[in-house]
Amino acid sequence: MNDSELNSKVISRGKEFFSTISGEKPSLFNKGAWMGKVMDWSMKNETFKIQMFRFVDVFPSLTNGRLLTDHIREYFGEEKDMPPVLSTGAKVAGMLGSFGGAVLNKVLTTNIQEMARQFIVGENTKEAVKNLERLRKDGFAFVVDVLGEATLSEAEADLYMNTYLELLDSLKKEQAEWKPLPFSHQGGNAGLDWGHAPKVNVAVKPTALFCLANPQDFEGSVVAILDRVRIITEKVIDLKGFLCIDMESYRHKDIIIEVYRRLKLEYPDYPHLGIVFQSYLTDTDKDLADMLDWAKQKMIQISVRLVKGAYWDYETVKAKQNDWKIPVWTIKAESDAAYERQARMILENHTTCHFAAASHNIRTISAVMEMAHELNVPDERYEFQVLYGMAEPVRKGILKVAGRIRLYCPYGNMVPGMGYLVRRLLENTANESFLRQSFAEDAQIEKLLEDPVVTAERERAARALKLKPAEKGPGGLKPFNNEAMVDFTRADHRAEFPRQIAEVRKQLGRNYPLFIGGKEVKTADTIPSVNPANPAEVVGVICQAGTREVGEALAAAKAAFPVWRDTAPAERAQYLVKAAAIARRRVFELSAWQVLEIGKQWDQAYADVTEAIDFLEYYAREMIKLGQPRRIGNAPGELNHYFYEPKGVAAVIAPWNFPLAIGLGMTSAALVAGNCVVFKPSGITSVIGWHMVEIFREAGLPAGVFNYTPGRGSVMGDFLVDSPDVSLIAFTGSMEIGLRIINRAAKVHPGQANVKKIVCEMGGKNAIIVDDDADLDEAVPHVLYSAFGFQGQKCSACSRVIVLDAVYDKFVERLVSMAQATKVGPSEDPANYMGAVADDKAMQTILEYARLGKKEGDLLYESAVPTQGYYVPMTIIGGITPEHRIAQEEIFGPVLSVMRVKDFDQAIRWANSTQFALTGGVFSRSPEHLQQARREFRVGNLYLNRNNTGALVGRQPFGGSRMSGVGTKAGGPDYLLHFMDPRVVTENTMRRGFAPVEEDDDWVA
Ligand SMILES: Cc1cc2nc3c(=O)[nH]c(=O)nc-3n(C[C@H](O)[C@H](O)[C@H](O)COP(=O)(O)OP(=O)(O)OC[C@H]3O[C@@H](n4cnc5c(N)ncnc54)[C@H](O)[C@@H]3O)c2cc1C
């Protein structure tokens, strides 16, 4: 049969399908009921939809009447202004007004619970089993799934697994009593459903079986998931059931495929083990073909459930945020067409692969039916599946035509159920949803049944017409865009780290000179830089500048300054763009150096390098903009031009914690603004500092413009700061040193031409507030990451978590359990969540604070650590109040204080109660509290409902005030201004009463 004949058959089958269910509506779209009304209103009003779905999301946390009333008001306004769909129940009860709050609470609670029940087959095993039996009586088979998505600890993963085991035990007992679902084909097995299918069929969400599932630690994740899947599998096999491994977000796709393959190899003869593929992923054609080839090669039977995919919005947003290739098709019909293509691939291989076609789309279902028919696929090799609670007419229709259908039935309690419910609500109300178009909008049947290949082509053509020409940024460069994050879903990115670490290891122990006036300079005084996870491993031996060499570097910078100052800003910017390209080419290698020299985890190391590249690209563009003199004022006969001039020689003093990003950030800002730089890296990351020399040298920066002078602070630090030749000091580091620099720089020395300008970023004592309605599934992992990522050695790291009394115990229990699941060890092994701290001195200071914390508060958790290397345990201390020293002093290490407060006002007061004001975070789903935090939580960078580290150049310009710094914002539009002096030139253009008409911006400095 050719494609067009097949398509005609699909369309006629679809039309027949529609005619058999004509007049019927899925209960979701039944406007007679509350849920149908809410769906209808949501589809007409996007703002209401967002508020409603967000409210559904927060609903399980609203555990008392006050919280519920407050949130209803905050989300939907006062009762009188509320959309009728919400207040109807209360109005019917005649109770709006003074008693209305309580009635409204009751009405909404009842209705939301009912809405959840629509999709959830039961809240406990007994209820689920009873409802599954009822479904079987109506002729439907089931696949049951335990709700539970964000598992945060080993205990939660065990609980999830044990719920399956308990469920399977109950089902084992019950199944003997169940009459098999009927079959019509010859030779079926009378004990099985439809003569061939196990009666018990379960689906598992693999990431719920391991709380740290993460592609960065691919092997560790596969092994940990497999350990628990295996236990469930054995029970499934014992009762001769079916197990399917669900597919989740793209991030975990390859892990899940690998788990399935290894599981199949462990049970090669058991045919009833399946996996899900998602047609909306552009990878799936290849993944599926590979899986089929693999199964044939291993001569094993597999089973595939094909779905379009449930996380489309998430995948597109996440990819755009990280500048990754979007992993899903972006035209809906492309997913539909992929589904049909892949369904054919499976059906053609039906002797190897059993097929579960999961869709509510009548075109899709009809296509599968016709293709199976055309390929003579026996009934027992394919089946249809739909979600419980959705598309009732469709499931009835399939039962009638195919004689077999399976419903996917989630069960479990409401809290994890809400994530599932929100996904279903989104799916049903999406503009592109087949169900919405068919049953809520009565779209034309012809359009609904059109061949998706044709629809996709038409939409691609329409999209091409709307394409706008590429935007131009300053100086003809591409507009600034953050460098893409490392993508560990890519096998090549995962492989690159061990490879580059091995390469870098071959180069360890080299000697590194200074770089002054374009020349390498060696000194007799050297210090080694070591791997903090293994101090016996010397990363490099670095020549130290003394005052003589610093003097030479200052002289070289001073000599280079006039020409560099007068180089056109756009030309200076080009050096930065070249440097960015060099760093980009070397991104993995530069990351590997960071893993070994300062103990960054893979992702943290990569993020440091990409941030460095961002600074180069961003400041290049900012300078091109600022380099253009602006005309100001518009009085005739007068021309005013406002422009900037560099200050002179800049001393850049960099920290070790972001050795490339902050070092290159401060240096590139100074350089592009026209200053010449004497750069002092931190003593413990001087090898990384040397890479800046290599980068600028390759970029062709003129001699003397950038000078590299690592050295002992005690010998040359003050000398550099005091020098009369220095006009500007850019510093990032501790408050103690920052204030010392500010103090010393205030003194004017003989011969000094400028008042020294200080650009200074210092410490923080950052807090995250966890509100009583916070989503703990989000708050716990983000707090853990903010506090212990890179061992808590970021100025932005969370060192206090302030938790509202109502959720304190639960939060602490989950935080500690998650911490217990993590490992501490060398950062080069991606299984380790935390590595060694910077050096021996840091280790001693942090350990001292940990000891103090244990005296001031109660130790909630202290991890084990390796015996070799500069390790400090991951430490969590409870019962801390603002009077305690560990609530006030910056520790710069993995010690987290947990503070209990009675309400949100107190949380804000405590959050603001230190001398610092750098970063802060709030986890809350109360719109009023989020608003209050915006106003009153006074920090430089406030993060709402996310982790509070990882600021991005151009998106979250970074820096604090009070004792956290002098208020500059690195990576922001004002930053370069600190490196220049503004000038104004005013010309009287009137000569003898004649004033020319002036054009804007026609004068270039
Ligand atoms: C039995 C069963 C099990 C399931 N298991 C899983 C699972 O393990 N993992 C999982 O992810 N999902 C799973 N799902 C959910 C499933 O992905 C959705 O129900 C399905 O995508 C809806 O597709 P449809 O054919 O019913 O509806 P349709 O309305 O035809 O398709 C909607 C789908 O099209 C895709 N889409 C929407 N907009 C676009 C666009 N602009 N460009 C490209 N594609 C777009 C999305 O995938 C969306 O869900 C399961 C569903 C069933 C029935």
Q: Roughly how many angstroms between the first and final C-alpha of the chain, as a whole number? A: 74
Reported as a pLDDT band with limits 50, 70 and 90, residue 111 is: confident
pLDDT of the residue at 1004: 45
What does the pLDDT look like over 472-500, one tens digit per residue? 899 999 999 999 999 999 999 999 999 99
236 CA to middle of ligand 1, Å? Answer: 27
Distance CA 147, CA 857 (A): 37
757 lines ligand 1 (CB under 6 A): no
pLDDT of the residue at 149: 65
Residue 878 has pLDDT above 80, yes or no: yes
366 lines ligand 1 (CB under 6 A): no
pLDDT of the residue at 104: 82
251 lines ligand 1 (CB under 6 A): no
What is the number of the ligand 1 atom nearest to the C-alpha of 390? 53
What is the number of the ligand 1 atom nearest to the C-alpha of 203? 8
Give, using CA atoms, the residue closest to atom 44 of ligand 1: 332
Structure tokens at 111: 């209705």
State the DSSP code for 717.
I
Residue 612 has pLDDT above 50, yes or no: yes
What does the pLDDT look like over 644-669, one tens digit per residue? 999 999 999 999 999 999 999 999 99
What is the number of the ligand 1 atom nearest to the C-alpha of 143? 1
Give alpha helix (H) positions in 789-866: 805-821, 840-856
CB of 654 closer than 8 Å to CB of 663? yes
Average pLDDT, the chain: 94
427 CA to middle of ligand 1, Å? Answer: 8
What is the number of the ligand 1 atom nearest to the C-alpha of 363? 30
What is the number of the ligand 1 atom nearest to the C-alpha of 278? 11
What is the number of the ligand 1 atom nearest to the C-alpha of 330? 42
220 CA to middle of ligand 1, Å? Answer: 29
Reported pTM? 0.95
Candidate of 308, 334, 390 to mutate for ligand 1, largest count of ligand atoms within 8 Å of Cβ = 308
State the DSSP code for 885.
G
What does the pLDDT look like over 287-305, one tens digit per residue? 999 999 999 999 999 999 9
309 CA to middle of ligand 1, Å? Answer: 4
Distance CA 880, CA 647 (A): 46
Distance CA 818, CA 782 (A): 11
What is the number of the ligand 1 atom nearest to the C-alpha of 334? 43
pLDDT of the residue at 1000: 53
Distance CA 31, CA 42 (A): 12
306 CA to middle of ligand 1, Å? Answer: 9
C-alpha angle 47/49/52, rounded to 5°? 110
Average of pLDDT values for 935-953? Answer: 97
389 lines ligand 1 (CB under 6 A): no
334 lines ligand 1 (CB under 6 A): yes
CA dihedral 463, 464, 469, 473 (to 10 degrees): 60
Q: What is the largest CA-CA distance in the chain?
A: 111
pLDDT of the residue at 34: 85
359 CA to middle of ligand 1, Å? Answer: 7
308 lines ligand 1 (CB under 6 A): yes
What does the pLDDT look like over 398-409, one tens digit per residue? 998 888 999 999
153 lines ligand 1 (CB under 6 A): no
Residue 171 has pLDDT above 80, yes or no: yes
pLDDT of the residue at 100: 54
Closest Cα to residue 104, out of 143, 166, 62? 62
Candidate of 43, 202, 307 to mutate for ligand 1, largest count of ligand atoms within 8 Å of Cβ = 307
Average of pLDDT values for 33-39? Answer: 86
| CA dist list (Å): 897 to 237, 779, 793, 885, 960 | 47, 15, 15, 11, 21
Percentage with pLDDT > 90 across the chain: 82
CB of 196 closer than 8 Å to CB of 378? no
Burial class (CB in 10 A: 0-12, 13-18, 19+), 566: exposed
Distance CA 120, CA 98 (A): 35
Distance CA 225, CA 302 (A): 19
361 lines ligand 1 (CB under 6 A): yes
Give alpha helix (H) positions in 586-713: 587-598, 602-626, 661-672, 686-699
| CA dist list (Å): 514 to 385, 540, 690, 711 | 68, 13, 8, 9
Distance of CA 249 to the CA centre of its chain: 12
Distance CA 19, CA 21 (A): 5
Closest Cα to residue 768, out of 945, 921, 974, 560? 921
CB of 378 closer than 8 Å to CB of 350? yes
Average of pLDDT values for 659-686? Answer: 98
- Mind spelling out the 3-state secondary structure of 948-982? CCCCCCCCCCECCEECCECCCCECCCCHHHHHEEE
- The secondary structure of 235-269 as a DSSP string is HHHHTT-EEEE----GGGHHHHHHHHHHHHHHSTT
938 CA to middle of ligand 1, Å? Answer: 43
pLDDT of the residue at 294: 98
733-739: long-range contacts (C-beta < 8 A, 24 or more apart)? 733/653, 733/655, 733/761, 733/762, 734/762, 734/763, 734/890, 734/892, 735/762, 735/763, 735/890, 735/916, 735/963, 735/964, 737/713, 738/762, 738/965
The helix (run of H) or strand (run of E) holding residue 96 is none
Average of pLDDT values for 900-904? Answer: 98
pLDDT of the residue at 99: 47
278 lines ligand 1 (CB under 6 A): yes
359 lines ligand 1 (CB under 6 A): yes
What is the number of the ligand 1 atom nearest to the C-alpha of 386? 53
User: Token match 């935390």: residue?
Assistant: 834
Residue 79 has pLDDT above 80, yes or no: no
Percentage with pLDDT > 70 across the chain: 97
189 CA to middle of ligand 1, Å? Answer: 32
358 lines ligand 1 (CB under 6 A): yes
Map residue 385 onto helix, strand or coil.
strand
Reported as a pLDDT band with limits 50, 70 and 90, residue 417 is: confident
Give, using CA atoms, the residue closest to atom 45 of ligand 1: 332
Q: Mark whether 798 is an active-site residue.
A: no
433 lines ligand 1 (CB under 6 A): yes
What does the pLDDT look like over 210-226, one tens digit per residue? 999 999 999 999 999 99
pLDDT of the residue at 116: 85
136 lines ligand 1 (CB under 6 A): no
434 lines ligand 1 (CB under 6 A): yes
Residue 108 has pLDDT above 90, yes or no: no
What does the pLDDT look like over 40-72, one tens digit per residue? 888 888 888 999 999 989 998 898 889 999 999
Active-site residue, selected from the candidate residues 370, 380, 496, 761: 761
332 lines ligand 1 (CB under 6 A): yes
Q: Mark whether 760 is an active-site residue.
A: no
Candidate of 207, 328, 335 to mutate for ligand 1, largest count of ligand atoms within 8 Å of Cβ = 335
Residue 1005 has pLDDT above 50, yes or no: no
pLDDT of the residue at 739: 96
Give alpha helix (H) positions in 239-386: 253-266, 284-298, 312-322, 332-348, 362-374
Residue 562 has pLDDT above 50, yes or no: yes
394 CA to middle of ligand 1, Å? Answer: 15
Reported as a pLDDT band with limits 50, 70 and 90, residue 446 is: very high
Reported as a pLDDT band with limits 50, 70 and 90, residue 942 is: very high
State the DSSP code for 1001.
T
Average of pLDDT values for 676-703? Answer: 98
Distance of CA 853 to the CA centre of its chain: 32
279 lines ligand 1 (CB under 6 A): no
